[in-house]
Homo-oligomer: A and B are copies of this chain.
Amino acid sequence: MTEAEVRIIATIKDIARLTGVSAATVSNVLNGKSGAASDAKMQEIFQAAKELHYRPNTLAKNLKLRRTKSIGIITEDLTVFHTPEMVDGIEEYCESQGYEIILDNMRFFKRFGNNFTDTRLHTEFFENAVSALVAQQVEGIVYIGYHCREIIQKPAFPHLPFVYCNCYPKEPEYACVYPNDEDAGYQVGKVLTGLGHTNIGIISGPKGNVNARARLDGFFRALREAGISYDVNTILHGDWGRDSGYENAKKLLPGDCTAIFALNDAMASGVFFRCQELGLQVGRDISLFGYDNLNIARVHTPAISSVEPPLHDIGRKCAQLVLEQIETRSRLTQRVLLPCTLHLRDSVCPR
């Protein structure tokens, strides 16, 4: 097999040889420099390029140009439900601005399950991902957390635009974008208290989980406004899984509460199951609110009310912040909170 056969794609030299001009001329013509060659030659060159399916070798081109117009995306885990939609938002914006994206998926969930990202190994994966991307000459990076929380890792490259997506850094040296969970929790509280509920069960995430903090802060703000006091010791803690929603619901039902706020849809689904078991009709005998707005919330009858985080917009905004830093050679450090959307469905009713 000859060299030419092995090579997948033609180079500028092949076109030069074929058309009897120099590589420089081919480059000039293909890059649209006017007056780089005679009309006849130009046609020949375009023709040859087309026939050979020529595409400039980006390695060589970017090396020469000393820029790649690309940004890296580091995902903690691409298979965790929220992630692809945020990636999509980033891609959409980058495409509109002529930037490429390079994705590095650390596969944390696959590797570590729900363990939080604070072991030495996690940090090692982080550093490898960053430097792999930097080695590929990305001009900035978006780091996507698989759920919203504080991230202790930060990049070792001071001049690299870096934005935390769906999470936030410990120190405010870097920009970040995430859902306004406080406000969302507040709105849920407003809805529930507005419907007359005063005894509301709460099923949160694991004890001490920062993820749920903001949601509950907002929720309690609404309760306070409604003049309802709440004993935080009565908050139940699940592990975000459906079963733990069910088990915790057993502690609540049968009981006095007229509404339950589960801090994610999976647990809300478990609560729903408990209600069915007891013959309680959700949306009539008891109100139920979830979080995440997954499909599973919608397929219950009645559908479970839920909070939709603005995933696509979060991605978009991150991309925007990175590109702005690249193009203005500046450093941005703001925290951007984007509003969630409440989906009120038949799972809630007046007390």
Binding site for B on A (CB under 8 A): 1, 5-9, 53, 55-60, 62-63, 68, 78-79, 83-85, 87-88, 91-92, 100, 102-103, 105, 107, 110, 131-132, 134-137, 139, 156-157, 159-160, 242, 266, 269, 272-273, 276, 294-296, 298-301, 329
Docked complex Cα distance between A273 and B5 (Å) = 59
Q: How far is the CB of A64 from chain B (nearest CB, A)?
A: 9
Report which of B131, B137, B139 forms a contact with A59, defined as CB distance below 8 A. Answer: B137
Known: A6-B159, A63-B63, A299-B300. 12 other contacts (CB 8 A): A8-B139, A9-B135, A9-B157, A53-B134, A59-B136, A78-B87, A88-B107, A91-B107, A92-B107, A102-B102, A294-B295, A299-B299
- A84 in contact with B78 given A157-B8, A300-B299 (CB within 8 Å): yes
Q: How far is the CB of A192 from chain B (nearest CB, A)?
A: 23
Task: Give every chain B residue within 8 A of A85 (Cβ-Cβ).
Answer: 79
Count of this chain's copies in the oligomeric assembly: 2
Task: Give every chain B residue within 8 A of A58 (Cβ-Cβ).
Answer: 59, 135-137
Give the nearest-CB partner of A62 in chain B.
B59
Q: How far is the CB of A242 from chain B (nearest CB, A)?
A: 7
Docked complex Cα distance between A160 and B85 (Å) = 30
Assess the B57–A137 pair: CB atoms within 8 A. Answer: yes
Assess the B91–A105 pair: CB atoms within 8 A. Answer: yes
Report which of B1, B59, B296 forms a contact with A63, defined as CB distance below 8 A. Answer: B59
Task: Give every chain B residue within 8 A of A83 (Cβ-Cβ).
Answer: 84
Docked complex Cα distance between A254 and B318 (Å) = 51
Return 5 A-B CB contacts under 8 Å, by A number. Answer: A9-B157, A53-B131, A55-B131, A83-B84, A272-B299
Give the nearest-CB partner of A131 in chain B.
B55
Docked complex Cα distance between A115 and B349 (Å) = 39
Q: How far is the CB of A223 from chain B (nearest CB, A)?
A: 29
Docked complex Cα distance between A184 and B285 (Å) = 41
Task: Give every chain B residue within 8 A of A132 (Cβ-Cβ).
Answer: 55, 100
Docked complex Cα distance between A59 and B63 (Å) = 6
Task: Give every chain B residue within 8 A of A269 (Cβ-Cβ).
Answer: 299
Q: How far is the CB of A264 from chain B (nearest CB, A)?
A: 12
Give the nearest-CB partner of A135 in chain B.
B55
Docked complex Cα distance between A294 and B294 (Å) = 12
Give the nearest-CB partner of A277 in chain B.
B301
The 10 closest A-B pairs by CB, nearest first: A55-B135, A59-B63, A269-B299, A79-B84, A296-B299, A55-B131, A59-B59, A103-B103, A78-B84, A58-B135
Docked complex Cα distance between A160 and B10 (Å) = 13
Task: Give every chain B residue within 8 A of A276 (Cβ-Cβ).
Answer: 301
Give the nearest-CB partner of A55 in chain B.
B135
Docked complex Cα distance between A329 and B1 (Å) = 10
Assess the A53–B156 pair: CB atoms within 8 A. Answer: yes
Task: Give every chain B residue within 8 A of A78 (Cβ-Cβ).
Answer: 84, 87-88
Docked complex Cα distance between A56 and B132 (Å) = 9
